[in-house]
Amino acid sequence: MPGFASRYGRSADVPTAEEIAAAVHARERTAVGVVTAALERIARVDPVLCAFVEVWDEDAVRQARVVDARVAAGERLPLAGVPIGVKGRYGLRAAGALVDAGCVPVGATAVPGPGTAWQTWGVGRYGRTVNPWRADRTPGGSSAGSAAAVAAGLVPLATGSDGAGSVRIPAAWCGVVGLKSTNGRLPSGDRTGLAAPGVLARCASDVAMYWRVMAGEAPAGSTTVPTAVWSPDLGFAAPDPEPVALARAAAHRLADTGALRLVRPDPPLRLDDPAPAWLALRSSPGTDPRVAQRIRAVNDQRLADLFHGTDLLLTPTTPNPPHSHDGPGERYSTALTWAFNLSGHPAISIPAGIGADGCPLGLQIVAAHGREDLLITLAQAAAMTNSRTPERNEPPCAGPSTESAPSTTPPGYACAPWT
């Protein structure tokens, strides 16, 4: 079977959002040309990837013409001509600031369909959404299509929403960067207050551009090295050894380059399992709201104590690698993420490395409320670290597969670069 790189082109060859905007403003490219190329790539790839539930060809080209006209009139649009995916059929409602900044929505990305309680999967217009690294594995969810589309290079940016890990989990399993904002900082339609808007991108610099547009804030340089606490399990989870080992190694790479300083908390961080609280707030049958209040109060205090003395908390993003399309079984892939939907802290998932199954895993970085700037700065530092490690720039599935490739190899998806 021919590899993805030979059939569809390499995702690493797709320009970043930052590069696209610069080229459009320099008149080296037009928004119409960029968007048309993205739509052509989606047409070639999406029948296999199933990342989109709708593609808006005519509307996208029409909006690209508007962007070109605005640029020609002298407007300085920070994201001029950048094609984006928006999460779900109603995701366009939350993308107004991005459109104003010059982005062109090209389609609605896949989210989970009905029929299962677990949400770490997606279904697009051609079928179930596959992980770009292994077609027999899920990309995660619920921002499944957004992560898959970004990882495969269909778009450089895609929006997401994160109510339990729905941005961070697919970011980890697809090898991209995924930011969950502080709860309540950006508009959200979630009545429970658990979900926060976020973004998925192939590089941290594009996340920085997204955040500058959405929050009006640029990551600020710091004269001090942030301190960070490492926790493999938050005191309650039972993660597999491999996600822990890869995330720990990624944390130490950051420390070794001077991007952060690892410290030991005293006493060690030990949260209560947030599962009963999260489920109660979602009004799941048989849950007790009083339990949610107790767990939330305990964990909020412990996290407040932690962030009073340190800047960052580092954990594996998930306790397990990507599961098959049959589901996670009795395992909560959200075990290490949904605590911060309850507490409201911002968090980002960055690539940590490749597991034995050939799929990526992530490092989760959590900061105090309102410190998205610090998270993005660390993600950019991690990108610089990985760019100096050649073997991490070209994941094993980036090149063409061969006729003798095992059946678990996807139909040759080019993988997202680490930088």
Write out the catalytic residue numbers.
87, 142, 166
Ramachandran area for residue 275 (φ above 0: left; ψ -120 to 50: alpha; else beta) = alpha
Which residue's entry shows tokens 């060690």?
268
Mapping DSSP to helix (H, G, I), strand (E, B) and coil, where does residue 382 land?
helix
Mapping DSSP to helix (H, G, I), strand (E, B) and coil, where does residue 162 land?
strand
Pull the structure tokens for residue 227.
């301190």
**372-387 vs 204-215: helix axis angle to the nearest 10?**
160
C-alpha 282, offset from chain centre: 23
Contact call for residues 250 and 352 (beta carbons, < 8 A):
yes
CA distance 252 to 256: 6
Ramachandran area for residue 256 (φ above 0: left; ψ -120 to 50: alpha; else beta) = alpha
Cα angle 120, 107, 101; round to 5: 110
Pull the structure tokens for residue 105.
């929505």
Where are the extended beta strands (E) located within 23-172? 52-55, 83-87, 104-109, 123-124, 127-128, 157-162
Contact call for residues 3 and 412 (beta carbons, < 8 A):
yes
Tally Cβ neighbours within 10 Å of residue 297: 12
